């Protein structure tokens, strides 16, 4: 396999694993869609995985990528000056979901358009507590516009959805990756995220999350990789409301989450430009505060993504994602029509990346 192709694949898989916890959090935390205020009450209220699963995957696919340095290597620290590698990214995604409100019955479809942009700073490995740690800082933002197009009769339009579901998501993530042994690596991160209504300029929700990820990537042959990822996170949350609602507290969304994902990576084509990535995952989200204490949500996901590198800086992606969400007895009593649902999202994306 060409070195450039292998490096490209390693970066793609790493990006997927890095963003899946956030995506699963957003979908697993669904609650009953009652009003715009409720729907914008944070990931646990929005109840959708429409965008977050592939934010960084979309943003960081093509380009002059190289495999992470210093992770799993036994090399000694260099005496060279500390260096930062900067990357700018942007992406446009369009897709149709068959269950835009994430409800158990009466599902309605909608077309969604997402615009994403971000910047990534990757530093040289440093020695920390006797281990070589590679630091990384990611900044990104995404806007989602619902009901922008209709592919089937009966799909919801933007006149119905824009004031309820359109959102802006922002995230800052500081992480450090290090080798546990020759096969496994770990990544610790501190992440801040917030959800805003760009229609009104109001911040609706924010969260601070310490995250631990343990993963392994095994090369099966010259064109095939298998990746397993496990992660745990705790989310300190705050839901911001313009008025007080009896029985609703700003920290209702506080939760701990554990998940696992298995991804199969296949490089295709004579030049390795086409990559196919089927994956399956499971996440359990447990809530810890107020009336939600003891609630647990369960999310199964399965999907396949095909990614083609058009040039060094641009790429094209097509994807299909299936989700199946359920809850325990307390969750069923609290979530109403969103206690259980399935969704199928199908779409395409154009992505860009530039290394400074």
Task: Enter the tokens of residue 227.
Answer: 């990746």
SS3 59: helix
Contact 236, 207 (CB under 8 A): yes
Average pLDDT estimate for 330-343: 91
Instruction: Please report where in the chains the tokens 């260096």 appear, as a residue.
Output: 83
| Residue 159 CA: distances (Å) to CA of 93, 150, 218 | 20, 12, 48
Query: Are the C-beta atoms of residues 313 and 349 closer than 8 Å to each other?
Result: no
Of the ranges 49-53, 88-92, 310-314, the best mean pLDDT one: 88-92
Indicate the helix (H) or strand (E) that contains 184.
Answer: strand 184-197
- In a domain? residue 78: no
In 10 A of CB 79, how many CB atoms? Answer: 5
Q: Which of 228, 100, 114, 72 is nearest to 156 (CA)?
A: 100
The predicted model gives 300-319 an average pLDDT of 96
Neighbours of 344 (CB within 10 A): 15
**Structure confidence at residue 28 (pLDDT):** 39
Distance CA(2)–CA(99), nearest Å, equals 41
Burial 283-307 (b: 16+ CB within 10 A, else e): bbbbbbeeebeebbbbbebebebbb
Question: Closest Cα partner for 300 from 279, 273, 276?
Answer: 279
Supply the pLDDT for residue 203: 92
| pLDDT tens-digit map of 157-185 | 888 899 899 999 999 999 999 999 999 99
**CA 344: distance to chain centroid?**
16
Answer whether residue 80 is part of any domain. no
Backbone angles phi, psi at 61, to 5 degrees: -75, -65
160: exposed, middle or buried (Cβ count in 10 Å: 0-12, 13-18, 19+):
middle
Q: Does 321 score more than 80 pLDDT?
A: yes
Q: What angle do CA 253, 257, 260 make, to 5 degrees?
A: 150
CA distance 222 to 144: 38
Closest CA to 56 of 88, 84, 25: 88
pLDDT, position 175:
98
Confidence of residue 53 (pLDDT cuts 50, 70, 90): very low
Q: For residue 271, what pLDDT is reported?
A: 86
Task: Show the domain range for 21.
Answer: 3-73+85-355
Give the pair of three-digit tokens for residue 243.
């008025």
d(CA 94, CA 113): 5
Distance CA 33, CA 100 (A): 11
What mean pLDDT do residues 307-325 have?
A: 96
- 144 inside domain: yes
- Count the domains in the chain: 1
pTM exceeding the 0.85 threshold for the entire prediction:
no
CATH of the domain at 314: 2.40.160.40
Which pLDDT belongs to residue 14? Answer: 52
How high is the pLDDT of residue 81?
A: 76
Share of the chain above pLDDT 70, in %: 77
* Distance between CA atoms of residues 181 and 187, nearest Å: 13
Residue 336: inside a domain: yes
Which is more confident, 45 or 283?
A: 283
Across 4-8, 47-51, 85-89, the highest mean pLDDT is recorded for 85-89
Element at 21 (helix H, strand E):
helix 3-28
Residue 79 located in a structural domain: no
pLDDT band at 129; cut points 50, 70, 90? confident
Helix, strand, coil fractions of the chain, as percent rounded to 5: 20, 50, 30
CA–CA separation, 282 and 259 (whole Å):
6
Mean pLDDT value across residues 196-220? 94
Q: pLDDT band at 79, cuts 50/70/90?
A: low
Q: For the residues 215-238, what does the mean pLDDT come to?
A: 96
pLDDT at 96: 97
Query: Is the per-residue pLDDT at 38 higher than 60?
Result: no
Q: What is the pLDDT of residues 244-258, one digit of tens each?
A: 777 678 889 999 999
Is residue 93 a part of any domain in this protein? Answer: yes
């Amino acid at each position: 396999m060409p070195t450039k192709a292998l490096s490209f694949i390693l970066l793609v898989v790493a990006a997927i694993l890095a963003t899946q916890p956030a995506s699963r959090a957003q979908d697993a935390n669904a609650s009953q869609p009652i009003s715009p205020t409720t729907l914008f009450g944070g990931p646990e209220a929005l109840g959708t995985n429409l965008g977050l699963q592939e934010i960084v995957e979309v943003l960081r696919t093509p380009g002059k990528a190289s495999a992470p340095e210093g992770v799993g290597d036994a090399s000694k620290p260099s005496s060279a000056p500390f260096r930062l590698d900067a990357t700018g990214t942007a992406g446009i995604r369009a897709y149709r979901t068959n269950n835009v409100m994430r409800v158990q019955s009466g599902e309605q479809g909608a077309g969604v358009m997402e615009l994403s942009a971000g910047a990534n700073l990757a530093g040289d490995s440093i020695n920390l507590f006797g281990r070589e740690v590679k630091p990384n800082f990611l900044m990104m933002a995404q806007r989602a516009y619902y009901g922008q197009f209709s592919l089937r009769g009966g799909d919801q339009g933007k006149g119905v959805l824009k004031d309820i579901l359109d959102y802006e998501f922002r995230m800052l993530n500081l992480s450090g990756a290090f080798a546990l042994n020759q096969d496994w690596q770990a990544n610790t991160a501190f992440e801040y995220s917030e959800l805003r209504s760009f229609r009104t300029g109001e911040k609706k929700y924010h969260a601070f999350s310490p995250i631990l990820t343990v993963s392994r990537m095994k090369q099966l042959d010259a064109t095939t990789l298998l990746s397993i990822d496990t992660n745990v996170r705790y989310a300190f949350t705050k839901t911001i409301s313009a008025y007080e609602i009896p029985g609703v507290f700003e920290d209702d969304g506080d939760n701990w989450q554990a998940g696992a994902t298995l991804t199969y990576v296949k490089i295709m084509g004579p030049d390795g430009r086409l990559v196919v990535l089927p994956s399956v995952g499971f996440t359990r989200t447990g809530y810890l505060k107020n009336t939600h204490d003891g609630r647990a949500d369960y999310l199964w996901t399965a999907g396949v993504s095909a990614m083609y590198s058009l040039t060094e800086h641009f790429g094209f992606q097509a994807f299909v994602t299936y989700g199946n969400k359920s809850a325990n007895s307390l969750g069923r009593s609290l979530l109403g029509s969103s206690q259980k649902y399935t969704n199928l999202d199908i779409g395409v994306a154009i992505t860009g990346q530039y290394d400074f």
